[in-house]
Homo-oligomer: A and B are copies of this chain.
Amino acid sequence: MSVRLSLLAILDQGPCYGYQLRAEFDRRTGSTWPLNVGQIYNTLDRLERDGLVEKGAVDAQGHVYWQITDPGRAEVAAWLSSPVERAAGTRDELAIKLAVAATLPGVDVAAVIRAQRQASLAQLHELRAAAFTGVDAGGPEELAWSLVVDSMVFAAEAEVRWLDHVETRLSQRPQHAMAIELSTEKPKRGRPVKVPTTV
């Protein structure tokens, strides 16, 4: 939902045309995750379908301007005032992968962890180098870019720390103590979700 809502939030500042929206999004996210132009028009159509934006005027150059509606403004306000729920809400690809790999008898978890750790660490170093070149950040665009890179650095650090943590915990017990065989008995549902949802 972040692309959709980001575009909506930009439109909340004033009407834009499609191509312009991409540039606005790219600048504001430090061009870190460049957006395919087609997706803009796609998303605009869907936002219009949902009544959050509407086609506005066309200027002399032929630019098709889109403007936000009242429901759209409400949507943006709700987005900005409510936190992003990730921990319990969204699936964590790496956590899933490692949990599954660790509980599968035939899998060399240690190797999976090693490979991931190496890649994550390499990434972290590159990120730190990139972050370093951007500390002199003068303009707002550089600052925005710098914040995004920092978030990646923090996330990568946490990832490496967690990998080490997992490696330690797994090394304390033999591989077979972790493995879960395919149950031939009737499957029972596991314990109910214990992780709080905080919604």
**Which of B106, B115, B120, B133 contacts A13, CB < 8 Å?**
B106
Query: A181 — nearest CB in chain B belongs to which residue?
Result: B13
B112–A80 CB distance below 8 A: yes
Contact A27 to B180, CB < 8 A, known contacts A140-B103, A159-B86, A166-B150: yes
Q: Is A66 an interface residue (CB 8 A)?
A: no
A 140-199 contacts with B by CB, 8 A: 140-141, 143-152, 154-159, 161-162, 165-166, 169, 173, 177-180, 182-183, 187-196, 198
Q: Is A58 an interface residue (CB 8 A)?
A: no
Q: How far is the CA of A90 from the CA of B79 in the complex (A)?
A: 21
Q: How many copies does the complex hold?
A: 2
A 106-129 contacts with B by CB, 8 A: 106-107, 111-112, 115-116, 118-120, 122-124, 126-127
Contact A83 to B115, CB < 8 A, known contacts A127-B196, A158-B157, A187-B20: yes
Q: Which chain B residues lie closer than 8 Å to A156 at the CB level?
A: 87
Q: A28-B99, A81-B111 are in contact. List 15 more A-B contacts (CB 8 A).
A: A19-B187, A23-B189, A24-B180, A24-B182, A25-B100, A26-B189, A31-B191, A32-B88, A80-B101, A87-B124, A87-B152, A95-B152, A103-B140, A143-B169, A147-B166
